[in-house]
Structure 1
C-alpha cells in the first residue's frame, strides 16, 4: 500500500485496504491523515547496547526501584508503625512522634521517584522528534481510530521501552506498590479502626471513667506531681473557673500514673461556679449533671482540640483562644460564636460524703473535635 493514500491524494482507504497495511504503514498514514509533518526524528542511541545506553537504562530503572522501595516502606509504616497517642515523657513517645513524618516522607518519596523516573525515561530514551500538526475540528472516524492506535504502538516501539525489560519490571513494581499504598490509605479506617473495640474503644471513654468501683475525684494541679489537692465546693468563689483532672486513691504515690492522668489529651476539665441565681438551660437528659452552681465541661474545644482556657463571668462565656470559638455556659456550653459546631461535653459531678467533688460517670459523648471518623451520637 502506498503512503500517498490520504485525503486529497486518492481518497481515504477502505477497511480492506486498512487490513492489508502493515503497522508501519498505518502509523505513517496516521500522521498524514492528521496533517502531521515530522520535521526531525532521531533515536537517542542509533547503535544498541552502548555503554551510554545501558547507563541511561540503569538510571531510569534505579528511580523506579527507589519508588517501589519507598512505596513498600510506606505500606509497612502505615500498618506496623505505632500510631496511638503517647504523652510527652512517656515510654514510646519518640517513636510515636515519628509516625507522621515517616509516613509522609516515604509516600512523598515514592511519588517523587516515580515522576523522576518517567521524566528520565522521556529525556534519555525517547527519540528526539520535532513535528508540526494542523488543527482540525470534528469527530474522529473509523480510519482515524485505527491509525492512531497503530501510531501509538509505533511510537512505543521507537522509544525502545519495549525491549528494556529492566525498566519494564521496575516500572511495574513501582506502579504496583504505589497502587497498593494508595489502596492502604483508602482502607486505613479498616486497618486501624479506632472504634474496633466497641464500647471499650479509646475514643468512647476517658480517664474519668470509674473502674473497679473506685471513686474518681476532681483534683487541681498545684505544680507538684505528688501533691494531691482534691477539690471542695468551698475552694471556689462564685464566678470562678478551675482546671481539674481525674484522681484515684490507687494512684497516690505513683508519679507515673499521676502524670498520665494529667497529660492525657482528653483529661482536662473546667470546673465553673456560676454566680448565685444564674438561670441555666440544661440539655435534656443532663439536668442532674451539675452540683448546684457548679458545672464541669471538657476543656477540649470541639473545633480542633485546643484548650478552652478562658471564662468570662460577666456574660458566662467560655472562650477558646485558638480560633475564637465561644460557648455559653448557661445554655449547656452551646457554641454561640466561631467555628465550633458542637457543645462541650459535660461531666456529671456530685459531692461525696467526705465533701469532695467526684465524677459520677464518664462523659456520655465523645470528647474533642467532631472529626469525620467520629460516629454520630444521639
Structure 2
C-alpha cells in the first residue's frame, strides 16, 4: 500500500472497478460484451406474397427490356450507319449504339440487384473462417452450400425469372459480334489499298497546311520545314479528315552534298528539297520534330527517329520501316509539284500487306 499526500492509503483498483466516465455512462475498459445480432426485421416481400410477385414481374420486365435494348443496338447499327461521305454520321451511330448497350447492361444489373435484395432468402448468419483444403468433407459441404443457395435464391424454382435473366445475358454479346463482324466486308477495300492511294498525283502542287498557299522551290531555305498537303484538299468537305490523315507531308531542304540518295531515287528530290510522309510507320503518330543540325526527324509518341539524309531510314525506336518518300519536282512557274502518288503505303507497318513494294 502507498500513502497519498494527506497520509491516506492508496490501493490498486480491481479490473471490475476500472471504468471510464463518459457523461453519465460508465463503460468498462477491459472489453465489452458481444451484443449479438440485431432482431431480424422481415421485408415486405417476405410477409406479402403479392408484393413479392410484383417485384418478380418488375425484374422480369427489366430482363426483357435488356433483351429489347440489345436488339435495338443491333438495329441501330444499320439504321444509323457511319457514312464515309459524311463524318457527322459518326455522332448518331455512336449515340444510339451507346444508349442501347448502356440500357441493356444497366437493366440486367438493376434486375440482378433487386432479385438478391427482395426475393432471395433474407437471414443473418455467422460463418467461421477455416483453412481451404480441398478435403472430401469440404467438397461435400460446398455442394450442400450450392444446393442451399439454389433453394434460397429461387434460381431453380422461379423458371420464368431465371430464363429471362439467361436470355438477356446471352443476348448481351450480340451487338459486339455484329460490330466486329462488320469490320470485315468483302466489298470494302483492304486497308493496304486505302493507304496506298492518296490525293497526291502527277502535277498536284504542294501547298502549306492549313492555309493552302502554293510553295515555290525558292521559298524553301536550308534548314526550314514546311507542313504540306496536296492542293485541293481544303476544298473537300466530307473526305478532308480522311484524306489529310493519309496525305500530310513534311518538306525540308538540305545541302545537296548531305543527301545519300539511291540511284533510282535521285530524281525524287529537287535541289536538296525532299518530301516525306508525316505519318509514323510505327502506329501512325505525326512525325513533326525536325533536328536541323542532325537532319533527323523525331516521332514524339514513341521516340522513333528517321535520318532524312538517307531516305528517312529508321535509326532509333520501334518504327519498322522508313517514312515513305513523295517524289517531287517543279512546274513551269517554279512551284513544287508531285511527280506521282507515294509508291508505297503510308502509315503503320502493322497493317496486313498483300503487295510487295521494292522501292
TM-score, normalising length: structure 1: 0.65
Query: SS at 1:311's partner residue?
Result: strand
Asked whether 1:327 is paired with 2:327, we answer: no
Query: SS at 1:72's partner residue?
Result: helix
Q: 1:290 touches 1:296 (CA, 8 Å); kept in 2?
A: yes
Alpha-carbon offset, residue 169 of structure 1 = 4.1
Distance 1:133 1:49, change over 3 A: same
Larger Rg: 2
Distance 1:109 1:302, change over 3 A: farther
Distance 1:375 1:285, change over 3 A: farther
Alpha-carbon offset, residue 360 of structure 1 = 3.1
Q: 1:262 touches 1:268 (CA, 8 Å); kept in 2?
A: no
Q: 1:44 touches 1:125 (CA, 8 Å); kept in 2?
A: no
Asked whether 1:156 is paired with 2:143, we answer: no
Report what 2:60 is aligned to. 61
**Residue among 197, 201, 214 paired with 1:205:** 197
Instruction: Extract unaligned runs of 5+ from structure 1.
Output: 1-39, 87-91
Give the Cα separation in 1 of the matches to 2:64 and 2:210.
Answer: 54
Asked whether 1:307 is paired with 2:294, we answer: no
Give the Cα separation in 1 of the matches to 2:247 and 2:90.
Answer: 20
Give the Cα separation in 2 of the matches to 1:318 and 1:327.
Answer: 5
Alpha-carbon offset, residue 338 of structure 1 = 5.4
Instruction: Extract unaligned runs of 5+ from structure 2.
Output: 1-39
Alpha-carbon offset, residue 206 of structure 1 = 1.5
Aligned residues: 315
Report what 1:219 is aligned to. 206
Asked whether 1:171 is paired with 2:165, we answer: yes
TM-score, normalising length: structure 2: 0.68
Query: SS at 1:264's partner residue?
Result: helix
Q: How does 1:1-378 map to 2 (within 5 A)?
A: 45-46=45-46, 49-50=49-50, 52-78=51-77, 81-83=80-82, 92-100=86-94, 102-104=96-98, 106-129=100-123, 130=125, 132=127, 135=130, 138-139=133-134, 141=136, 152-184=146-178, 188=180, 190-193=181-184, 196-198=188-190, 201-208=193-200, 210=201, 215-221=202-208, 229=214, 231-247=215-231, 255-256=235-236, 260=240, 264-280=244-260, 282=262, 288-321=267-300, 325-337=304-316, 340-351=319-330, 355-370=334-349, 373-375=351-353
Distance 1:266 1:201, change over 3 A: same
Distance 1:289 1:74, change over 3 A: farther
Alpha-carbon offset, residue 273 of structure 1 = 1.6
Q: 2:224 touches 2:253 (CA, 8 Å); kept in 1?
A: yes
Q: 2:199 touches 2:243 (CA, 8 Å); kept in 1?
A: no
Alpha-carbon offset, residue 272 of structure 1 = 1.6
Give the Cα separation in 2 of the matches to 1:275 and 1:138.
Answer: 76
